Structure 1
Amino acid sequence: MKKKWDMRIGITVLSIFLLSACGAEEENAGANANEEGNNNNSEAEVEEENNHSSNDNDEANNSEEAELLQIGATQIVEHPSLDAAYEGFKDGLADNGFAEGEQVTYDLQSAQGDQNNTSTIANNFVADGVDLIFANSTPSAQGALQATDDIPIFFTSVTDAVGAGLIESLDQPGDNITGVVDLHPDSIEMTIGFIEDYFPDSTVGLIYNSGEQNSVAQIEAVEAAIEGTNLDAATRSVSTSAEVQQAAETLIDEADVFYIITDNTVVSALETVVSTANEYDIPLVVGEPDSLERGGFATFGIDYYSIGYRTGEMAAEVLSGEKTTADIPSEYPADMQLFINQDAAEAQSIEWHEDWDELAELFE
């Protein structure tokens, strides 16, 4: 009997031990499950926090990009004078609190010499909702003004803003357009006076695009300035830059002096005129200093960077909310002087006059 009781007691003790072990194992498993659950929850919370932080950063970046003012810049063609005016415009804005990439962003579009493209460019700017249009040339300004009467337009490299229908007068520009013209009122008369003094009894060869109001106005001013002098004029009209060289060559037997005004089509192909002038010893007078640096001989000109810069200063007043375009009169260039390229004078076999050393700023 005793053995049986001992055996029963042993079985009972063993059962209790096994049950205790199972309970402990279940407890540990539950604790591990709870700990794993807590870890998973913690990781999910961290991931959610990171996502929120990332979204906040994205929203901040998007907000910062949205705050940049959009400026559409349109010009009829790419050449040094217009490019200099564009750089001046950006610097004028930057120096007055509107730096590229910080407060403003630019979309520069060239019409590649095709006036039909100026309307397309301007209409695209309007569709994009730009905050301001910089119109760098007469055709570009005309295209912009036809496209909008709401968006502020600032022009430069425009010779006759009134004649081109852009503004009513310098003192009273339009409701949404103003700017700086590129022709000092005395520059053409002074240029013709220079030719008359140093190349008397000459025929002046003129090449221009009759489709540009800017050019037509200048040619009319040249012809008016020639009246009453000992000079004559011979003109050739072109439609594209590809026609400029041929036009220059047809003037070889007529022209004693070339005078290339600030015509965008002709200036974009100026090297062909320079080549003709050098080959046939014809003095090449030009309309602005950038053409002088490309091989022209002399000019009473302006600095295109400076008129672009002044236009940028004017635009800053509108972007800052200080004024509207109607409050800002259009302007003439501030400065003008005689520039002479000595190397071009030699290349074109021009007799040097000693008084040029004092009268002109000399290039080499």
Structure 2
Amino acid sequence: MKTTKLVKSMILMGLLGVSILTGCGSKDDDKIKIGITQIVEYSALDENREGFIKALEDGGYKDGENIDIDFQNAQGDIATTQTIAKNFVSQNKNLIYAISTPSAQAAYNSTKDIPIVISAVTDPVSAELVKSLEQPKTNVSGTNDYVPVSKQLELIKTLVPNAKKIGVLYNTSEVNSEVQVNELKKYSKEYGYSVVEAGVTSTNEVNTAISSLVNKVDVLYAPTDQLVVSSMPIIVQKTQEKNIPIIASEKGSVELGALATCGINYYELGYTSGKMAVEVLKGEDISKMPVKSGEEMEIIINKDSLKNLSIQKPDDERIVYINTK
């Protein structure tokens, strides 16, 4: 009889213990877990992330209160993007925000269930992230940073009117870059330009490639390619030695010394992605959310490069002038 009472008492205490532990669980368990994966630390992508987080806050989701943001930077390493994505999946994140094509592809390769909001991806269809921009039909949607190459060709015509040959340096293993190069080749013919390509697969190859390329071209086109933008200081050095202007695809490259761009505001692009994330967190079906494009275009010219290249300042009040960082 005593043994039976002892057993019952132990069982009761055990149940109470479980109840107490459950009641004292961490408040973090109730927070929505959001993983942010970014290919590299870079001004345009950093601004994009800031815009995303601000949109979450404006939508009622604040880090440390009702959401827990886990930001991971791959430092330019493709293999690391895969590791980050797999960790996010194993940690049961409620939503993943992927900034750049490699980061987005890694996330999508790792999960077909967790909603993935993307940004700074030039062509989500070619990257095989969505079925179409209008109807993704996958667990992916967000914003793209596509800027018609015609905008950059018009800049070349304005700033470098005597140019005939356009050089382009790009990462041959990045789908995003191949799309831009193919478009450049397609439309350059309409503007009377020929294109000289130089493909690289690592930063170690950039110095040799750009040193050769500047002897063959009149102007350099820099796509939104993480390998190229991370190598921009050496690219700027080599091109300026030969008095070759760089027309870039985004503001960050101009801040590092490229001559000009007609580009997207990456903060606003991130903010738009953040608003979409809020909709997803509130129950919207991401597979039915159209991918959005950046709407705010701006012409940005580097004053220092303009002077160094002895190019006449355009007479246009809409242009934003900046100095090299």
Shared topology, TM-score over 0.5?
yes
Deviation sequence 1:325-351 (CA, Å, 0-9, x none): 123211110111221112211122323
Matched residue SS, 1:227:
helix
Answering whether residue 230 of structure 2 is matched by residue 268 of structure 1, we say yes
Answering whether residue 299 of structure 2 is matched by residue 351 of structure 1, we say no
Separation of aligned partners in 1, 2:77 and 2:207? 18
Query: Counterpart amino acid of 2:128?
Result: G
Figure out how many residues of one structure are paired with residues of the other and give that number. 305
Once the 2 structures are TM-superposed, how far is the Cα of residue 362 of structure 1 from its aligned partner?
Answer: 2.1
Once the 2 structures are TM-superposed, how far is the Cα of residue 120 of structure 1 from its aligned partner?
Answer: 2.0
Whether the 8 Å CA contact 2:155–2:262 is kept in 1: the answer is no
Summarize the alignment of residues 1-364 of structure 1 with structure 2, pairs less than 5 Å apart: 62-184=25-147, 186=148, 188-199=149-160, 200-321=162-283, 323-353=284-314, 355=315, 357-364=316-323
Query: Counterpart amino acid of 2:152?
Result: T
Whether the 8 Å CA contact 1:205–1:256 is kept in 2: the answer is yes
Deviation sequence 1:126-174 (CA, Å, 0-9, x none): 1111111111111111111111111000000100111111111111013
Separation of aligned partners in 2, 1:72 and 1:358? 41
Deviation sequence 1:297-330 (CA, Å, 0-9, x none): 1101011111111101100111122x12123211
Change (3 A) 1:58 1:148: closer
Separation of aligned partners in 1, 2:257 and 2:183? 24
Separation of aligned partners in 2, 1:94 and 1:57? 32
Separation of aligned partners in 2, 1:104 and 1:305? 21
Query: Counterpart amino acid of 1:208?
Result: Y
Separation of aligned partners in 2, 1:63 and 1:238? 48
Query: Counterpart amino acid of 2:86?
Result: N
Whether the 8 Å CA contact 2:61–2:67 is kept in 1: the answer is yes
Once the 2 structures are TM-superposed, how far is the Cα of residue 363 of structure 1 from its aligned partner?
Answer: 2.0
Matched residue SS, 1:169:
coil
Whether the 8 Å CA contact 1:134–1:153 is kept in 2: the answer is yes
Whether the 8 Å CA contact 2:173–2:201 is kept in 1: the answer is yes
Once the 2 structures are TM-superposed, how far is the Cα of residue 57 of structure 1 from its aligned partner?
Answer: 11
Larger helix proportion of the pair: 1
Query: Counterpart amino acid of 2:309?
Result: Q
Query: Counterpart amino acid of 2:233?
Result: E
Separation of aligned partners in 2, 1:332 and 1:93? 19
Structure 1 vs Structure 2 CA RMSD = 2.0
Deviation sequence 1:274-301 (CA, Å, 0-9, x none): 1122222111111111211121111010
Once the 2 structures are TM-superposed, how far is the Cα of residue 359 of structure 1 from its aligned partner?
Answer: 4.5
Once the 2 structures are TM-superposed, how far is the Cα of residue 255 of structure 1 from its aligned partner?
Answer: 1.6
Unaligned runs of 5+ in 2: 1-18
- Give the structure with higher Rg (CA): 1
Deviation sequence 1:225-277 (CA, Å, 0-9, x none): 10132211111111122322322111121121111111011101111111122
Whether the 8 Å CA contact 2:156–2:163 is kept in 1: the answer is no
Separation of aligned partners in 2, 1:211 and 1:140? 14
Percent identity, aligned pairs only, is 37
Matched residue SS, 1:140:
helix
Change (3 A) 1:57 1:348: farther
Whether the 8 Å CA contact 1:71–1:133 is kept in 2: the answer is yes
Separation of aligned partners in 1, 2:179 and 2:108? 19
Once the 2 structures are TM-superposed, how far is the Cα of residue 179 of structure 1 from its aligned partner?
Answer: 0.6
Query: Counterpart amino acid of 2:221?
Result: Y
Runs of 4+ residues over 4 Å off in structure 1: 55-60
Unaligned runs of 5+ in 1: 1-54
Whether the 8 Å CA contact 2:165–2:195 is kept in 1: the answer is yes
Query: Counterpart amino acid of 1:348?
Result: L
Whether the 8 Å CA contact 1:285–1:299 is kept in 2: the answer is yes
Query: Counterpart amino acid of 2:303?
Result: Q
